[in-house]
Structure 1
Amino acid sequence: MRLGVDVGRATTVAVLVGPGGQTVARAVVDSVPGLGECLRAVLAALPPAETGEVDAVGLTMDLERRPSRLRPVAALRIAPPSHPSLGPLAGWPAQAAREVGQLHAVVSGGSALTGRELAPLDRAAVADFARRAAADGVTAFAVAAAGALTRPDPEVAAAEVIAEAVPGAEITLSHELGRSGLRERENTAVLNGALRPWAARTSDTAERALRVGGLRAPLFLARNTGGLVSAAYFRHYPVLAIASTTASAVRGAALAAGADRAVVVDAGVAEFRCASVTDGEVEGSDVGPGLGGVDVDLARIRTDVLPRAGLVGTGAEQVADLVERVRRRTPGGVLLAAGGDCGLVPVRAQDPAAAVAAAAYGAACSEIVAEVDQFAVAGGHGELDRLLGLARDQALARVVAAGAAPATARVAFAAHTPVSYLPEGVHRLRVRAVGSPSGIPS
C-alpha cells in the first residue's frame, strides 16, 4: 500500500492507496505553519491500523516550496567570452541575484552543438576561480559549458579540478539537468546548487515527521512534471521537484477517473490552473520563469492560469473561458476538477472528495521517473542507433539512482529528431525511464 500526501497552503490531504489503485482511506486537515506539523496532523487523522502497511510515501507540497533564502553559489561558465549583458546571472531578478551572489567567471573551453571543440578547457583558470570562491566562503558550484548536451566532458573535467582545489565542494553540472540553451541551463544549475540546503532541511523534516507518525516506509518527492524521486535524489537535484502540486493533481485526477484524455482544472488558493492530459501524459513545456522569476530550461507541465484576484462577478465565465482554451488543444478530453475549491468548475460526474484528494492520489500512484535529453552527432543509422542505445542505458541508470527498484526499471519513451538548424547528422535524443519505488529507505 502507498501513502500520498499533498501539503497545500490551505489544507493537507493524505490518501492511502491499495495495490489495485483503490482508495483505502483519506484524511484532510487544515494546514498550519511548518511542514512537519502538517504531516504529523494528517497522519494522526488516518486510521492507525492502515498506516502500518504502507511501503512507500509520495509527497507533493506547496507550503514550503520557496526557501526563505537561496544559498550563495559560484557560477562557472565554460565558453567563449560574451557581452556582459549575456554573462552568468545576467537578467536575474534583483532579490534572487543578491541571495545567490555575484561570484562568477567565464573560462575558455566548451564545444558547439555539433561536438566541435571551441577551445581546450583552461584548467588553471578553473582552479584559480575555485580557490577564490573558497576564500570567500563559497563551496557550492554550478558548472555550465557551451555544447555540454553534445559533449559533457568539459563540465566533468572542470568538476574534477574544482573538487581537487576545494575538498568537499558541492558541484552541480548543467548537462545533468537542463537543455540546449546555455544561459537558461546555467540558471537551472545555479538554482539547483542554491536550493540544496533547503532540500536537505525539507526532506529531513518530512522523514522525521513520518517516523514520529509510526511510518518506516521510504519517502519520495513528486517531480515538477509528475512522477517521483527519492528523498536522497531530491537532496541532490531539488530543482526537479520544487513546483509539483499541479502536475500531481492533474495526473491524479485523470488516474482516479480512468481518463487517458482529460482537461483538468486545479483550483488552488490563489489561482485556477488548467492543464491537459493526452494518452495519460500531461502536456509539457520548456523554457520559462522558474523559482524567483529566474528563466530556466527545465521540463515542466503547460498550464493556463487564471488568478482569483482577477475574477469578475462570480468568475464562472472566466473559468469557462479558461477551460475552453485548453480544450481546444485536447478535443474530446473529459473535464475534471482538482483541489479544495472546485465550485466554479462545471464538473458533474466526479466525486468531490476525489477532486480534493487528486494531488495526494497522484503522488501515491506515481512511478519513479528520470529523463535524458541530449544532442548527438551520428554519421549514419547504425551510429544513431548506438547513441540512442547509450541514452537509453543512461536513462535507466538515472531512474535507478532516482529511487526505482532495478528489476522494475524500463524505458517508457525514446525518440530522436534531426536538428533542422544544425548540419546533417545532429540529432536530439530524448528518453524517459520509469520504475516502481524501491523499498530501500533513502
Structure 2
Amino acid sequence: MRIGVDVGGTNTDAVLMDGSAILASTKQPTTADVGSGVAAAIAAVLTQGGVVAQAVRSVMVGTTHFTNALVERKRLEPVGVLRLASPSGEALPPLTGWPADLAACVNGAIFLLPGGYEVDGREIAPFDAARVRAAAEALKTRGIKAVAVTSAFAPVNATMEERAAAIVREVHPDAIVTRSNAIGRIGFIERENAAILNAALSPLAASVVGSFERALRDLGIAAPLYISQNDGTLISATDAATHPVLTIGSGPTNSMRGAAFLTGVQDAMVMDVGGTTTDIGVLANGFPRESAIAVDIGGVRTNFRMPDILAIGLGGGTCVHLDPELYGARTLAGDLFRVGPDSVGYRILEEAMLFGGNTLTTSDVAVAAGKAAFGDRGRLPAMSPATIATLWDRFQAMLEDGVDRMKTTRGDVTILAVGGGSFLVADTLKGAARVVRPPHAAVANAVGAAIAQVGAQAEQIVAYDHTPRAVAIEKMRADVTARVVAAGGDPRTIQIVEVDEVFLSYLPGRAAQLRVRAVGDLAAEPRGDAVSNPSALAQHAH
C-alpha cells in the first residue's frame, strides 16, 4: 500500500495504490504552508480507500516548489562560491550570464582559488588548504551558510572538491555544502551554475521536506518518504533536502510516467495540461526523453539531468482576452483576441465566469463549446458559434505547434492527454495518430509519483587503452546497481535502462565519456492490516 502525491502551484493531487490498483484519488488546493495541503490530500485518499495510516508502506512526493522559487526569485539563500580552477579558470567569474535579479539574490561571496584538473586528470594547480580555510572563515563571519564548491573536471576527479567541502564543514559547521560533482556533468560553467542553484535552494528544501515529514507524522504514517527526481525515479527525503535541483523537473516527469502506466503505452508524446501551462514531453521506453542540451532554469544554463519538456501558455485557467463587444460577432479576426499567457491559476473557482467571476478563461470556452461540463454554463457570456469555434481552433493550433516542435522523426505520433485541463486537447490533432485519454488522467502526476522506481546514474571518462571497454562498462553497471540497492531498490528488479557512450577525439588514445543508468522497484516490505473497511477496498479494487 503506497501513496503518491504531486504538489503543484494550484492543486495537490494524491492517489492511494495497492499494487497496480488505484483505490482512491483526490485533488486538494495547494496551501501556502505546503504541509497542510499534503496532509489534507493524504487524509482524503485514506478515508476514501478505507485504509488505516499504519498500512501505508511508502509515500512518494513530487513538488514544483523549487522551480517556483527560482522563477519568482523568492526564498533563495545567498551563496558562498568556492571555485577551484585558478589561474586558468578566472576568465569567466561565477554568475556570468545570470539574470541580474537572480544573481543579486544568490551572490553572497565568490572566492577564486587555485586547484582543479585538466580533462586527462593532471592538476591545473595544487590544492591550497590554507586559502580554502580562510574562505570558510570569511563565510562564517558573514553568516553565509549556503556554500557551493566547484572544481574544474570534478566528474573526472572529485578529490579537491571533497577536501574543500571537508574543510568548510570543519570551520563552519552550520554550512550546507553542495559539491558540483554530485549535481552536474562535465561542462564546467553549467555544472557550477547547477551547484550554485542547489546551494541557494537547500534551506528551502530542508523546510519543504520537513513539512512533508511533519504531515506524515501528524497523520500517524511511519512509512519512509521519497521525493521524485527529474528523470522519473526516486531519492530519499534526506537526499532531496540536500540536492533539490535534482527534483525541479519532477512535476511533468511524474505526469509522463503516470500516463505510461495508465495507458500501457511506452512510446508516445504526453500533453500534461494544468491550470497555467501545458507541458509536452516524449516517452521513450516508458521514461521521459532526457534533454540533450544545456537546460535553462530560471534564466540560468545548467547541465544536470532534466526531461526534454516544452511548456506552452495554455492551461485550464489561461485568460482569454476578447473585446466584450465582439462576443456576439459572427467571426473573429486573429488580431481581435489573445490567449494567455496569463492565468487565473488557483483562483479559477473565484475568477472564471463559470463560477461567477469576471474573467473569460479557456475552461469557459471549452464548456461553451461542449468539450467539458462543469460550473454554471448560464453564467457564460453570449458568444456566437463562430466566436467559440475560432477560439477553440486557436487552442488546438497552439497544441499542434507544440507537437511539431517536439517531434524528432517524421510521421504522426500517439498523444497521451492527462492533467486536470486535458479537456482542452481535441480528439484529433494534426500530427497525431491518435489521442488517448486514460482513466484517472486528472491525477496522472500523482500516479507517476506512486509508481516511481529507485534510480541511479554514473558518469565517467574512461581511457580504453588502460581499461578494456567491456570491463569499464561492467564496472559501472555494478556501481549503479549497488547505488540502487543502497537507495532501497529490490536487487531482483534492477534493470540497466541506459548505456551512453561518447568517444572523445580531443583526448589521446581511445577515451570515451561513459554514462550508465539503472532503475529498480522499491524493496517490498511486509504488509500489515491494510484495510479498516474491507468492503470499501473490495469496491475500489473492483
State if a TM-score over 0.5 links the two structures.
Answer: yes
Q: Where does residue 343 of structure 1 map in the other structure?
A: 423
Q: Where does residue 374 of structure 2 map in the other structure?
A: none
Q: Where does residue 106 of structure 1 map in the other structure?
A: 112
Within a 5 Å distance, the mapping from 1:378-389 to structure 2 comes to: 378-380=464-466, 382=468, 384-389=469-474
- CA separation in 2, counterparts of 1:388 and 1:155? 25
Q: Where does residue 322 of structure 1 map in the other structure?
A: 402
Q: Where does residue 205 of structure 1 map in the other structure?
A: 211
- CA separation in 2, counterparts of 1:64 and 1:157? 29
C-alpha spacing 1:163/1:32, structure 2 compared with 1 (3 Å): closer
CA contact (8 A) 1:142 1:172 kept: yes
- CA separation in 2, counterparts of 1:415 and 1:321? 30
Query: Mean alpha-carbon deviation: is it higher for 78-87 or for 127-136?
Result: 78-87
Are residues 1:46 and 2:126 paired? no
- CA separation in 2, counterparts of 1:130 and 1:299? 30
Are residues 1:139 and 2:145 paired? yes
Cα deviations across residues 280-303 of structure 1 (Å, max 9, x unaligned)? 12111141211x322211111111
Q: Percent identity?
A: 34
- Residue 256 of structure 1 and its aligned partner are, at CA, apart by 0.9
- Residue 363 of structure 1 and its aligned partner are, at CA, apart by 0.3
Query: Matched residue of 2:95: which SS?
Result: coil
Q: Where does residue 273 of structure 2 map in the other structure?
A: 267
Cα deviations across residues 287-335 of structure 1 (Å, max 9, x unaligned)? 1211x32221111111122213159833122212222433454856421
C-alpha spacing 1:325/1:139, structure 2 compared with 1 (3 Å): closer
Amino acid at match of 1:323: V
CA contact (8 A) 2:263 2:438 kept: no
CA contact (8 A) 1:84 1:90 kept: no
| Aligned counterpart for 2:236 among listed residues 223, 227, 230 | 230
Amino acid at match of 1:388: I
Are residues 1:287 and 2:294 paired? yes
Are residues 1:358 and 2:360 paired? no
Are residues 1:433 and 2:518 paired? yes
CA contact (8 A) 2:176 2:202 kept: no
- CA separation in 2, counterparts of 1:63 and 1:103? 25
Amino acid at match of 1:26: S
- Residue 51 of structure 1 and its aligned partner are, at CA, apart by 4.9
Within a 5 Å distance, the mapping from 1:76-155 to structure 2 comes to: 76-81=82-87, 86-155=92-161
- CA separation in 1, counterparts of 2:196 and 2:487? 20
CA contact (8 A) 1:319 1:344 kept: no
**How many residues are aligned here?**
437
- CA separation in 2, counterparts of 1:393 and 1:177? 21
Query: Matched residue of 1:172: which SS?
Result: strand
Gaps of 5+ in 2: 315-339, 342-361, 363-389, 428-433, 526-542
Q: Where does residue 37 of structure 1 map in the other structure?
A: 36
Query: Mean alpha-carbon deviation: is it higher for 223-232 or for 84-93?
Result: 84-93
Query: Matched residue of 2:424: which SS?
Result: coil
Q: Where does residue 66 of structure 1 map in the other structure?
A: 68
CA contact (8 A) 2:490 2:522 kept: yes
CA contact (8 A) 2:5 2:62 kept: yes
Larger Rg computed on CA atoms: 2
C-alpha spacing 1:192/1:317, structure 2 compared with 1 (3 Å): same
- Residue 396 of structure 1 and its aligned partner are, at CA, apart by 3.4
Q: Where does residue 330 of structure 2 map in the other structure?
A: none
- CA separation in 1, counterparts of 2:405 and 2:164? 46
Amino acid at match of 2:172: V
- Residue 359 of structure 1 and its aligned partner are, at CA, apart by 0.5
- CA separation in 1, counterparts of 2:511 and 2:460? 10
Gaps of 5+ in 1: none
TM-score scaled to structure 2, two decimals?
A: 0.74
Q: Where does residue 329 of structure 2 map in the other structure?
A: none
